[in-house]
Structure formats: structure tokens, C-alpha cells
Amino acid sequence: MKWCLKSANQGYAEAQFNVGTFYDFAIGVKKDPVEAVKWYRKAAEQGLAKAQYNLGVCYYHGKGVKKDPAEVVKWLRKAAEQGLAIAQNDFGACYAKGYGVAKNDVEAVKWYRKAAEQGLAIAQNDLGVFYEKGYAGTKNEVEAVKWYRKAAEQGLAIAQFNLGNCYYFGRKGMRQDRNEAVRWWRKAAKQGNADAQHNLRQLNISW
């Protein structure tokens, strides 16, 4: 903290971001959300994507600053446009939910895909949902299974549950397979996914 602060005070963005995280998560200093926002903002205004993302998150949760959907969108957009995967996913979610921007499923898919193609599991699952449900005219069960599988293989419980459903009910391009469904539901259930646990109980199967 001592040396990061010296560097931060000289305007080094990476150090400013680090000081922000120290205050945000009480690393070596007392937790202080206001100070965290102050340092994130300094780094964000210099264009550091991860600082822009964290600042947007602060505005979303109202940590150290008043909740402000417009500011959330502003900072997530800046980080997303620099290619930060988690920012791309959350920016896509803003469009999917109509949070701070007009609801737009086409834009949501666009940003989910950018994050998913970088390997972000939650974005892969979200993209799978869009393909399965057909939001923005994207209905494609083969693509849904593809993205669920990528996320499930990374250990994401909700994707494991969704992939299990695909096996249980059958989806275009894949066989209906109860054993595979149970296998994926068990993986999700062991991580605490309540829906997977419910499905297994209905089948009188433990996890």
C-alpha cells in the first residue's frame, strides 16, 4: 500500500487501480468505499479498463457513491469497448434487462458473444439462453447446446443445469439421454444449484 500510494500519487493508473482495490476489499487498510471510488475514478479517467469496470460496479451497487444506472452504463461501455470480457458481459446484461439503456436483445447478444468468444463462462451460458429461447430472433438449439457445454465444462453450475435439461428433454442435434442429464445435474447440484437438486429429488436420485 505504501509504495502503491506513492506511485498512484504520481499518476500511475495501475497503481491508482491497486489503491482502489485495497480500499474496496480492506487489503492492508480499513475498508473505505469512498476512497476506493476516488482511486478507481482516477485510473478510469486515464482509460484503464479494469478500473472503469470496477467504477461501474460501484455505481451499480451504490458502494462509495450513489447508485446511478447511467453511470453504470457509461463506465461499463468504456471497459467493454476496450475488450474486457466481464465488462462486455455485464454491458450485454444492461441491454438484456433494459438497465440504464433501452432494452435491446440484439445488442445484448452482440456483447454476450464478444465475452463468450473470450471464454467467459457466464457469457457463454447467457448466450446459450438467448439461442435456446430465441431472443432477438436467434433461436438455434444446436448453438444453445454448444455454448452451454462450453460454460458447463468450465464448472459453471447454471450452465451444467441447463445442459442437463438439454439432455433430459432432447434438443436438435443431440440425443435424449437421461444418464447424461443426471450427470450434469449432479455436477450443478453439488455446487448448490437448487433447480438441479429439485430435478434429482423428483427422480429419487442423490447427489
Instruction: For residue 15, give the amino acid letter.
Output: A
Sign of CA dihedral 9, 12, 18, 21: positive
Residue pair 122/156 in contact by the 8 Å Cβ criterion: yes
**DSSP percent split of the chain into helix, strand, coil, nearest 5:** 70, 0, 30
Cβ partners under 8 Å of residue 83, min gap 6: 49, 114, 118
Does residue 190 surpass a pLDDT of 90? Answer: yes
pLDDT tens-digit map of 74-114: 999 999 999 999 999 999 999 999 999 999 999 999 999 99
pTM given for the model: 0.92
DSSP letters for 56-115: HHHHHHTSSS---HHHHHHHHHHHHHTT-HHHHHHHHHHHHHTSSS---HHHHHHHHHHH
Instruction: For residue 179, give the amino acid letter.
Output: N
Local confidence band at 6 (pLDDT 50, 70, 90 cut-offs): very high
Q: Residue 72: its pLDDT value, please?
A: 98
Q: Residue 46: its pLDDT value, please?
A: 98
- Looking at residues 51-71, what average pLDDT do you find? 98
pLDDT tens-digit map of 107-156: 999 999 999 999 999 999 999 999 999 987 888 999 999 999 999 999 99
DSSP letters for 145-171: HHHHHHHHTTT-HHHHHHHHHHHHH--
Q: Residue 186: its pLDDT value, please?
A: 98
**Mean pLDDT in the chain?**
96
Q: Residue 93: its pLDDT value, please?
A: 97
- Domains of the chain from N-terminus onward: 1-82 (1.25.40.10)
Show the CA angle centred on residue 56, arms to residues 55 and 57, nearest 5°. 90
Q: Residue 142: its pLDDT value, please?
A: 94
Q: Residue 171: its pLDDT value, please?
A: 86
